[in-house]
Structure 1
Amino acid sequence: MKTQDRLRIKRHVRTIWISDVHLGFPGCSAEYLLEFIRDMRCETLYLVGDIIDFWSLKKKRYWPQAHNNVVRSILGKAKHDTRVIYVPGNHDEVMRDYDGLTLGNVEIRNSVIHETIDGRRLLVMHGDQFDSAVVNSKFIGLIGSAAYDFLLRLNRYVNWCREKLGREYWSLAAAVKHKVKKAVKYISNFEGAVLHEARRQNVDGLVCGHIHRAELTRLDGITYMNCGDWVESCTALIEHHDGTLELLKLADAPEVLKRLDPLRPELAA
């Protein structure tokens, strides 16, 4: 590839949160995430759990080059100018045994409080702590995953077709889930548990993942932020340099990038 072909404008923000990447699972949108990571630069990057899907890897060994490239890109940022904090989830809970350690320039914290540039305190945790089904029975989660796995594979096929037709990204999986009454009720209960924990820890807001439902809203005086996922909706949460928080969606990427602070053109990482 010629040098000029690799020239790109990077965008700089203060903080980025991503969660539920599920590397090692066929439904992971690693290619989209890799482009996002390469196009963005930040002071702090939070990996809010389920980054590596050890549950899926136990059932089937799946690790394509794109997944390896995501890991290498993140480690490259950690080695140079980005503080990377890994907050494990339930699919990568083996990493919770290393709470407080720094491995390969990546800090591991089971939960952490982030302070925005304007002084707000945000609790960062994966979110499975609020899900009694996960806490009480991992077996139930494994049983229910077959239909979900199929839906995510179908989601990838649909978007492959849309990309060939020049259409924007659209999440079939998220659309189906939002129509299911049980899922809507679960999300409502989940948000209630988040509010309770935020008040208990006396913070201004809480950032999590886990339920694959991106959200940025105020609930009874608490800022609730869910950074979404990279298997269904492909979303991330960012903090601008003035402290403004924003939810980025892959489908809105061209318009969003125009509004972000550009750095000088440079070679892609």
Structure 2
Amino acid sequence: MKKRNVELVIISDVHLGTYGSHAKELNNYLSSIKPKTLVLNGDIIDAWQFRKSYFPKNHLRVIQKIIGMASKGTKVYYITGNHDEILRKFSDMNMGNFALVDKLILELDGKKAWIFHGDVFDASVQHSKWIAKLGGLGYDYLILLNRFINWVLSKLGREPYSFSKKIKASVKKAVKFISDFETTATDLAIEKKYDYVICGHIHEPKIIEKENKYGSTLYLNSGDWIENLTALEYHKKRWKLYSYSESNFTEEENLFEMEDILSNHLINSIIKQK
């Protein structure tokens, strides 16, 4: 199976361990690419909503797939987010091609990219964590209900509908928060003279040039794998916002799944030998 070569891939907000996570689709995407560097920009595993009774095979396969990519030469950076903040006590850990960090600076063709999750800008996370956790739980069930309704709509031949996107677009506070988030991130990046500032956290995929009176920078957000199913790709000096489409994978899913099984079998064999 031919894979796309990509210099850098950034994903965030996968929320493994929750009902809303599109782990199957992410597995398909990861199986279709061969990146030199993979950045996991926070909230990959959701420790806030983690349930011992809910961690299906597709979720485990995402972890196994990432381990397999690292074992085959991909440099993997795991940047901690608020939902996986428990990992921050282990930050700056390096194991072969895998590194656990809180933020990251990469040099890309002579330009500097500043990468971090973005929860540091979220007052609800920093000062009222229990409210944020309660909101996260409600969001998880909203996404679960939304997936059921979209399944019904698909059977009726109707277009899918996103509750959360509708809410974000209609609630002025949500719109203002997203705008303030982007402004804060870009103002700091311009002050620090970074060419790119790359975040996750707010589940709003975007690539946009931002400027103020002191200069400009390119703001990028990798989105999420809950509702948008997006990733950032950098290749040959160009950024691309990748959006997952089921139609591109339906014929290849079985091949991807078989590849995952073989790769996981190989990894398990190596672990047993050690």
Superposition TM-score, scaled by structure 1 size? 0.84
Q: Which residue of 2 aligns with 1:18?
A: 11
User: 1:13 touches 1:41 (CA, 8 Å); kept in 2?
Assistant: yes
What SS is found at the alignment partner of 1:54?
coil
Q: Which amino acid aligns with 1:102?
A: N
What is the CA–CA distance in structure 1 between the aligned matches of 2:63 and 2:160, rounded to whole Å?
23
Structure 1: give runs of 5+ residues left out of the alignment: 1-7, 256-266
| Change in CA separation of 1:247 and 1:61 when aligned onto 2, cut-off 3 Å | same
Pairs within 5 Å for 1:256-267: none
What is the CA–CA distance in structure 2 between the aligned matches of 1:102 and 1:165, rounded to whole Å?
50
- Of the three residues 120, 127, 130, the one matched with 1:136 is 127
Q: Which residue of 1 aligns with 2:72?
A: 80
- Of the three residues 23, 47, 54, the one matched with 2:40 is 47
What SS is found at the alignment partner of 1:122?
strand
| Change in CA separation of 1:100 and 1:253 when aligned onto 2, cut-off 3 Å | farther
What SS is found at the alignment partner of 1:72?
helix
After the TM superposition, which of the residue ranges 81-90 and 160-169 deviates more from structure 2? 160-169
Question: How many residues get paired?
Answer: 248
What SS is found at the alignment partner of 1:203?
coil
- Post-superposition CA distance 1:166-214 (Å, at most 9, x none): 8887644324322322211110111111012212332111111000111
Q: Does 1:197 align with 2:188?
A: yes
What is the CA–CA distance in structure 2 between the aligned matches of 1:166 and 1:12, rounded to whole Å?
36
CA drift of 1:95 comes to: 1.2
Structure 2: give runs of 5+ residues left out of the alignment: 250-257, 261-274
RMSD, aligned α-carbons: 2.3
Q: Which amino acid aligns with 1:148?
A: Y
What SS is found at the alignment partner of 1:206?
strand
Q: Which residue of 2 aligns with 1:249?
A: 243
- Of the three residues 138, 153, 159, the one matched with 2:144 is 153
User: 2:79 touches 2:102 (CA, 8 Å); kept in 1?
Assistant: yes
Q: Does 1:89 align with 2:81?
A: yes
What is the CA–CA distance in structure 2 between the aligned matches of 1:32 and 1:170, rounded to whole Å?
18
CA drift of 1:252 comes to: 8.7
Q: Which residue of 2 aligns with 1:188?
A: 179
What SS is found at the alignment partner of 2:49?
helix
CA drift of 1:154 comes to: 2.1
Q: Which residue of 2 aligns with 1:111?
A: 103
What is the CA–CA distance in structure 1 between the aligned matches of 2:100 and 2:158, rounded to whole Å?
38
Q: Does 1:65 align with 2:57?
A: yes
User: 2:74 touches 2:97 (CA, 8 Å); kept in 1?
Assistant: no
Q: Which amino acid aligns with 2:98?
A: V
CA drift of 1:40 comes to: 1.0
What SS is found at the alignment partner of 1:187?
helix
User: 1:22 touches 1:51 (CA, 8 Å); kept in 2?
Assistant: yes
Q: Which residue of 2 aligns with 1:3?
A: none
What is the CA–CA distance in structure 2 between the aligned matches of 1:123 and 1:253, rounded to whole Å?
34
Superposition TM-score, scaled by structure 2 size? 0.83
What SS is found at the alignment partner of 1:124?
strand
What is the CA–CA distance in structure 1 between the aligned matches of 2:205 and 2:120, rounded to whole Å?
18
Q: Which amino acid aligns with 2:21?
A: C
CA drift of 1:64 comes to: 0.6
- Post-superposition CA distance 1:48-86 (Å, at most 9, x none): 00000000016x642011100110000000111200000
CA drift of 1:104 comes to: 6.9
Q: Which residue of 2 aligns with 1:226?
A: 221
- Provide runs of 4+ in structure 1 moved above 6 Å: 165-170
- Of the three residues 195, 198, 206, the one matched with 1:207 is 198
More relative contact order, 1 or 2 (CA 8 Å, 6+ apart):
1
What is the CA–CA distance in structure 1 between the aligned matches of 2:77 and 2:167, rounded to whole Å?
32
What is the CA–CA distance in structure 2 between the aligned matches of 1:141 and 1:130, rounded to whole Å?
13
What is the CA–CA distance in structure 2 between the aligned matches of 1:9 and 1:154, rounded to whole Å?
36
After the TM superposition, which of the residue ranges 21-30 and 138-147 deviates more from structure 2? 138-147
